[in-house]
Amino acid sequence: MTAAAAAPAPRRFLLIAGEASGDLLGAGLIRALRERHPDAEFAGIGGDAMRKAGCQTWFDCSELALMGLVEVLRHLPRLLRLRAEFRQRALAWRPDVAIG
């Protein structure tokens, strides 16, 4: 068995931040997890802070920051499309851990 074949695959962390404070917390979590898992991969929904920390963001969390029933209903078709695409990407990416 070669060394490459024996090496375990990097851990994959799926992160979901719904707004700016979650983006900041997610970035801190990424930095902390990198200390224990230097080769880890991060992807999901976040903002600038998570991107700078090394997360591949499929959608920006600002797309989800809606307030009030009327605003949510007005954007519901787009939100449902985002959810469907996120689900497809997450299932294809096969994370080891999901945090939201």
The pLDDT tens digits for 4-28 are 567 788 999 999 999 999 999 999 9
Write the DSSP symbol of residue 10.
Answer: P
User: What H or E segment, with its residue span, contains residue 92?
Assistant: helix 76-93
Q: What are phi and psi of 22, to 5 degrees?
A: -65, -35
Q: Enter the pTM of the model.
A: 0.85
The pLDDT tens digits for 38-76 are 999 999 999 999 999 999 999 999 988 888 999 999 999
Count Cβ atoms within 10 A of the Cβ of residue 44 and give its class: 0-12 exposed, 13-18 middle, 19 or more buried.
buried
- How crowded is the C-beta side of 73, counted as CA atoms within 13 Å? 3
